């Protein structure tokens, strides 16, 4: 049985993936990434929901940073196998749906092993993964003072040059490898100061509330001055980062009975977290899900919308976990 703390983190990992599904419902299905509701009630829903959903990607990387990415041939192969298993399935599903005749040539072989272009997180995370040994070595040898100085300097690059000034030459943006590196370093920093943070664990819920309200205030201000473009929800927004870190620390100290059925389910389901993302957000399933979501939207306060979206969410989430048992079975056969 895994340690209790790991059960807590697996729960957080699955919750974060559930958040990503909802974000894709709203951005791809309702096109909220290019526009926003005009009525006040709907706008209130969008602002409130996005205020917490926007931390999902940061949570994944904080988890990686806290525990550290340890590169081994086995871990690299598992990640490669998972990515390309679903990459190949989605490409062949596209051939089937478009009723194309499959013919083998070198161009076909190149496309067969080309990564899905829409998987920005995969590209960024692969870059982070290969930088992680350097980052781990640095933080393992830093003193606590050096750790704080390093994170402070990275924060200046992230927030001032990346978010405020949006200097493209720096490369810090919400969807970049450098942003993931920064969040990874925050995870390592939380690990270094885990004892100090443990003294304030009873107060962390107040930090969550304050940072969440700060995100809402920033978004309302943007909306009121007529410049609302979801800048307040970018993954590298200072208050989004603060909210992400505070939620992670709160979950780290969450007490869950490691012997319960719920814990056993978490440990059984969590290896399929990445698969949920790869299954529901690729070039084939993305437009299909978006069309379904948009065609069954009657307003945020409609019972039919709530029922349809809940059903769709559960189907994607739990259906992907069940389907991924095929990938896990094949992987176990290969590595054994």
The model carries a pTM of: 0.90
Least confident of 60-64, 80-84, 188-192: 80-84
Task: Find the mean pLDDT for residues 157-183.
Answer: 85
- Residue 227's Cβ-side half-sphere holds a number of Cα atoms within 13 Å equal to 6
Domain count within the chain: 1
- Binned at pLDDT 50, 70 and 90, residue 2 comes out as very low
Residue span of the structural domain in which 324 resides: 4-335
> Position of tokens 């443990």?
198
pLDDT at 104: 45
- Summarised one tens digit per residue, pLDDT across range 187-237 is 999 999 998 888 888 889 999 999 999 998 888 887 766 554 556 778 888
- Summarised one tens digit per residue, pLDDT across range 292-307 is 898 888 888 889 999 9
Scanning the chain, the segments in alpha helix (DSSP H) are 4-24, 40-53, 56-67, 73-97, 106-112, 120-141, 144-155, 177-192, 194-198, 204-224, 238-252, 261-269, 273-280, 285-295, 303-335
Buried b (16+ CB within 10 A) or exposed e, 262-291: ebeebbebbbbbbbbbbbbbbebbbeebbe
Task: Find the mean pLDDT for residues 34-61.
Answer: 82
């Amino acid at each position: 049985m895994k340690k209790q703390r790991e059960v807590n983190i697996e729960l957080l990992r699955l919750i974060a993936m559930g958040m990503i599904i909802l974000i894709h419902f709203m951005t791809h299905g309702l096109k909220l990434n290019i526009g926003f509701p005009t009525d006040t009630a709907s706008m209130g829903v969008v602002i409130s929901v996005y205020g917490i959903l926007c931390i999902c990607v940061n949570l994944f990387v904080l988890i990686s940073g806290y525990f550290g990415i340890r590169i081994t041939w086995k871990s690299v192969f598992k990640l490669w196998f998972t990515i390309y298993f679903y990459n190949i399935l989605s490409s062949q599903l596209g051939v089937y749906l478009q009723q194309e005749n499959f013919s083998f040539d070198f161009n076909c072989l190149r496309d067969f092993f080309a990564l899905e272009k829409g998987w920005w997180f995969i590209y960024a995370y692969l870059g982070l993964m290969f930088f992680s040994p350097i980052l781990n070595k640095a933080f393992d040898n830093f003193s606590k003072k050096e750790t704080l100085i390093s994170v402070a300097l990275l924060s200046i690059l992230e927030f001032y040059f990346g978010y405020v000034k949006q200097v493209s030459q720096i490369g810090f943006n919400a969807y970049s490898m450098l942003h993931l590196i920064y969040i990874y370093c925050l995870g390592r920093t939380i690990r270094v100061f885990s004892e100090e943070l443990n003294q304030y664990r009873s107060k962390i819920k107040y930090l969550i509330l304050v940072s969440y309200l700060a995100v809402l205030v920033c978004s309302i201000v943007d909306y009121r001055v007529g410049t609302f473009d979801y800048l307040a929800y970018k993954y590298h927004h200072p208050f989004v980062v603060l909210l992400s870190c505070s939620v992670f620390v709160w979950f780290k100290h969450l007490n869950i009975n490691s012997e319960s059925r719920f814990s056993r389910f978490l440990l059984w389901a969590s290896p399929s977290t990445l698969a949920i993302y790869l299954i529901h957000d690729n070039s084939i399933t993305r437009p299909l899900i978006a069309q379904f979501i948009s065609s069954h939207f009657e307003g945020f306060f409609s019972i039919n919308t709530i029922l349809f979206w809940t059903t769709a969410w559960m189907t994607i989430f739990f259906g992907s976990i069940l389907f991924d048992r095929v990938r896990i079975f094949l992987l176990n056969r290969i590595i054994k």
